[in-house]
Amino acid sequence: MGFLHRRLDQADFYFISNISQQRQDLRAQFAVGKRKPQRWNPEDGTNDADLVFEYGDYLKGEIEFTEVQLRLEPFESRFIVFGKSQDEPVITRTNFWGPVRIERHGRQTVVNGRAEENGKYWFETPKGRRYPLIVKDLPEPIPLGGPWTLKLGDKPSIELVALRSWNELPEGKAFSGWAIYSTSFEFTEGRPGLEWMIDLGRVHETAEVELNGVSLGAAWKGTRRLECENALKVGENQLVVRVANLWIHHMKSLPPSHVRTVAETYGIRWGRYGEIDQKDLPPSGLLGPMRLIPLRRWTLKI
C-alpha cells in the first residue's frame, strides 16, 4: 500500500493506492480526529459518503483518529477525504467488504449492497449490536470458453479453440497493436434479482469490451471486470473484446541497431551502462479464463 496526504483549509485528502497484485482488505486509521470520511473515485468522479467507519483515540483521548474499512482491488486507488462533518457512524464493522448504501427513513436505517458470494454476513452498530444477513441461492459463475476468432490488425482471422498468448502463434509472434477477439455464447440464467459482471481473467495489457453491440467500457488494470448491465440477454449473445499489447514485441522483431558510425563520429555520449537484453517477453492478448459473475442485491433494516 502507498498513500499521500494533503491538507487544504479544513479538509484532509488522502490518496490511497494498492500497488500490489492482490486485493487488500483494510482497517485504516487516519490522524484527522473524529471526522466523517468520504471515498472519491479518481476514475469517474463519483463520491461515496456511505462508509463503514468508527472513531477512536489513544492516550486517554489525547490523540483522536477515524478508522475506515476499505477494500482495494489490485492497483486500485481512491481518495479518502475528511471535511468538517463529525456525524456519528451508522455501521462501524462488518465482514462484508463490498460498497454499501445507507439510507435513513425516520428512525429506521436501511443498508443496501450487492453480494458476489453466498454467505453469512453481519453488520455492527456503534453500540456493539450485530445484525445478521444471509445471502443464498447465488448461482456459480458461468465460464466463457469460446471458441474464439482472433484478428491481429489487418491480418487474416485465426480460429482459437482456447485462449492463449498470440505471441505463441506464428502470425502473432512480433505483432504489437490492437487485436480483436470475438465469440458467441448462450445465456439461459435469466433469474430475476441477479446482476452480472464479465470477468476477463488475465489481460495483456488493455481491453475494450462490447456485448451485443453495447460498449461495456475499458479494463486496463487490476481485476479486469466490467458490468454487463442491460447488454446481457437471455439467448445468444455476441461478445467482442479489443486488446492492445506492448510495443516491445515489435521492437524485438527488428534487426539490431547499428550505432558504430554514430559512435565513431560523436562518441557514445548516452552511455551503455545498465542495458539489459529482454529475453523473456510478457505475453500478449486475452488469456482468461473468462467468466460471467452473478451478483445479488440485498437490503438490511436496522
Beta bridge partners of 197: 227, 293
- Is 135's pLDDT higher than 70? yes
- Is 192's pLDDT higher than 70? yes
| Residues present in the chain in total | 302
CA distance 147 to 139: 23
Pull the grid cell for residue 244: 492492445
- Is 275's pLDDT higher than 60? no
> What does the pLDDT average to over 175-201?
93
The CATH architecture that domain 142-248+281-297 belongs to is Sandwich (2.60)
Domain segments of the chain: what residues? 2-136, 142-248+281-297
* CB neighbour class for 108 (10 Å; exposed up to 12, middle 13-18, buried from 19): exposed
Q: Return mean pLDDT, the chain.
A: 91
Structure confidence at residue 49 (pLDDT): 77
Q: What is the pTM of this model?
A: 0.85
- Is 122's pLDDT higher than 80? yes
Of all residues in the chain, what percent carry a pLDDT higher than 70? 95
- Is 269's pLDDT higher than 70? no
Structure confidence at residue 118 (pLDDT): 96
Provide the pLDDT confidence category of residue 240 given band limits of 50, 70 and 90: very high
Per residue in 282-302, pLDDT (tens digit) is 899 999 999 999 999 999 998
2-136 fold: Immunoglobulin-like (2.60.40)
